[in-house]
Structure 1
Amino acid sequence: MPTNEHELPLEMVRNRPQLVPEMLRSVFGLNVSTNARATLASESYADTNPAELRCDATVLLGDPKSPVLGVVVESQLRALRQKTYSWPAYLASLRLRRRCPVVLLVLCPDQATARGCAVPIDMGHPGWVLKPLTVHPEMLPPITDPDQARRLPELAVLSAPAHADGPQSEAVLRGLSAAIGSLTGDTGALYHDYVMSRFSDAARKLMEDMVKLDNYEWQSEFALTHRAEGRAEGRAEGRSEGRTEGEVKALLLMLAARGLDVSEDVRARVEACTDPEQIERWIQRAVSADSAEDLFT
């Protein structure tokens, strides 16, 4: 299950391709129809040596057989020189195959990375310069309308960390709660862990308090479970030992949900820990750890 900083934004695009045209409209002001159908297409652009011509994701707008726009979506944690050669190839190949206009959208974790990836690529031919469209969370609008959050939960999840400490923090977190509460299966837990790992301590505490509100209408199985856990934690508040036991259980459940093997040594070390802050650090690491042993490195 993808959980790291590179893969999860792409998983959001794959789960809801409509996220891409929404970004193009709200961030870059492109004239993209709100009614255009958004579908995923092949991410491999060549039959020979596909590893060199395989983008992260491709979204087609309109009829997949005759699209009005093709979007190459890339996720970048840092600017890489080799991308200045592969990105134009992705666009040219997609344009050739689909016979439609194409754009490049690069998802970045922060402003510095977005700035580095946005450097224009001079192709050498006069007037032929590719200017990547880069986006980071601070560029996304705050999602404060619960209905909008339920309609595009991925947009709410991606933008929330940038606005959770701002003047609209409470409305943003309520929108995020509505977004997560509308999801089913493992997706809600996955998005919740992703966004909570990027929150400040203050935003995380406010979000947890909202989970405990009795008058909030949770919808998904994950949200109902999380609400019950929040109530249990509230009853145990002030009892450090009980709280630590709950966090240990949550950590082990998270590792199991991610499909990571938990050895007896790892389990014993986790269960023996009585420091709540240490367990919280392990929980944060568990979001992107490749193995249970990575908690301790």
Structure 2
Amino acid sequence: MPTAQHEGLHRIFRDNPELYTRAFEMIDIELPVPQEIAVIDTDMTEILPIDRKADTVVMFLLKQEEKHIIITEAQLRESEKKVSSWAHYISYAHSKYECPVTLMVTCADTKTATWARQAHPIGLEGYPSLVVSPIVFGPDNVKAITDPEEATENVLLTMFSAFCHVESPEVNDILEALNHALHKIDRETAEELATQTEIGLGKTKARQIWRKFMQASAYRFRSESGQEYIAEVKADTAAHTILNSILEVLDERGIPTDQAFHDKLMKTTDLAMLKYWLRRSVHVTTAEEIFD
């Protein structure tokens, strides 16, 4: 099930698409220069496999009407099952949008990052039909930004650094540098980024460290935009969790689902309706009966 920490590792890119270029520059990978970056609908219904959805998907709009899709996945542990999902996302996006697709994976520990960074072949041994080879960001290649001046120049990158190093010894210094940087920018933006940081740190010791910084700061998460952001993240995460639960229950009961069912299910964000459908998923004999 998605957690606040999981959401933070990819939502920072969804909410701040300009971060893509800086993040890739940090690991010496050149991205195409976009004329515009479009965040694709967060439901991403067309890019969903039957049992789960991609985390964040953006489209780089390039010169001469060229496009490039970047799929960003947050991964908190090793999961061979996830490789199948990644293969689906890449293949479907490539077929639908007829453009290059890059899979980007963000991690908060080196073990998971090392696993994700491997080439994941699908097919006969030695003769794979498809190889999933993501670009991976983790504590082993994301710089720990601890210098306050550098943090001020790269606030979003410093936030991302904190998320990737959330379990690292350097996280305290990173958060201190980020706190310094937020005092150097306008109050409204600082409040919003402070809120995003708290959410993205999840249920970790680093979150408690960050809260102590915020308690001593001029902003205390009271802004309207900050509260709206918290509500949006909670609603997004809750809907995602219930959707996955419905599909898992049906799968466990051996009840087949098709793309039409999947499309209808994923277009719903009403939590009360989703909870009702989850209760029905335990008793129905066909997937479509859920909607009756």
Following superposition, the deviation at residue 181 of structure 1 comes to 5.7
Q: CA deviation at 1:105?
A: 0.8
Mapped pair 1:225 → 2:219: yes
SS of structure 2 residue aligned to 1:75: strand
Residue in 2 aligned with 1:189? 195
Which residue does the alignment assign to 2:5? 5
1:154 Cα shift? 3.2
**Residues 255-280 of structure 1: CA deviation (Å, up to 9, x unaligned):** 9x9679xxxxxxxxxxxxxxxxxxxx
Structure-2 residue corresponding to 1:104: 103
Q: Deviations over 1:48-91 (max 9, x none)?
A: 98643621111222349944421111111212222121111111
- Structure 1 equivalent of residue 131 of structure 2: 129
After the TM superposition, which of the residue ranges 104-113 and 190-199 deviates more from structure 2? Answer: 190-199
In the alignment, is the contact (CA less than 8 A) between 2:32 and 2:62 conserved in 1? no
SS at match of 1:225: coil
Q: What is residue 72 of structure 1 aligned with on the other side?
A: 71
> What amino acid does structure 2 have at the position aligned with 1:155?
L
Corresponding position of 1:245: none
What amino acid is aligned across from residue 77 of structure 1 in structure 2?
L
Matched ranges for 1:194-213 at <5 A = 194-195=200-201, 198=204, 204=209, 208=213
Which runs of 5 or more structure 2 residues have no equivalent in the other structure? 235-292
Q: Which runs of 5+ in 1 are unaligned?
A: 213-222, 230-249, 261-297
Residue from 171, 177, 180 that aligns with 1:177: 180
SS of residue matched to 1:143: coil
**Distance in 2 of aligned mates of 1:80 and 1:12:** 23
The CA deviation at 1:104 is 0.8
Alpha carbons 1:58, 1:71 under 8 Å: kept:
yes
Change (3 A) 1:64 1:154: farther
| Match in the other structure for 1:156 | 158
Moved more, 53-62 or 29-38: 29-38
Q: Considering only aligned residues, what root-mean-square deviation do their CA atoms show, in Å? A: 4.3
- Partner of 1:17 in structure 2? 17
CA distance in 2, matches of 1:224, 1:188: 11
Task: Tell me, yes or no, if the aligned pair for 1:72 and 1:104 is still in contact at 8 Å.
Answer: yes
Question: What is the CA deviation profile of residues 185-204 of structure 1, one whole-angstrom value per residue up to 9, with x for unaligned ones?
Answer: 54423414645965669x94
Say which SS state the counterpart of residue 116 (structure 1) adopts.
helix
- Kindly, what percent of the aligned residue pairs are identical? 19
Aligned residues of 1:56 and 1:74 also touching (Cα < 8 A)? yes
Q: Distance in 2 between matches of 1:67 and 1:151?
A: 31
Q: Residue 8 of structure 2 aligns to which amino acid in structure 1?
A: L
Alpha-carbon separation, structure 1, partners of 2:21 and 2:193: 21
Q: What's the counterpart of residue 275 of structure 2?
A: none
1:20-99 equivalent positions in 2, closer than 5 A: 20-27=20-27, 29-33=28-32, 37-43=36-42, 51-52=50-51, 54-63=53-62, 66-99=65-98
C-alpha contact 1:46 1:53 (8 A) present in aligned 2: no
Structure 2 CA distance for partners of 1:71 and 1:97, relative to 1, 3 Å = same
Change over 3 Å in CA distance of 1:61–1:147 after alignment to 2 = farther
CA distance in 1, matches of 2:56, 2:46: 17
Report deviation, 1:142: 3.3
Change (3 A) 1:104 1:44: same
Paired with 2:151 and 2:83, the residues of 1 have a C-alpha distance of 35
Equivalences for residues 233-248 of structure 1 within 5 A:
none
* TM-score scaled by length of structure 1: 0.56
| Counterpart residue type for residue 218 of structure 2 | L
Structure 1 window deviating more from structure 2 (55-64 vs 192-201): it is: 192-201
Q: Distance in 2 between matches of 1:25 and 1:135?
A: 12
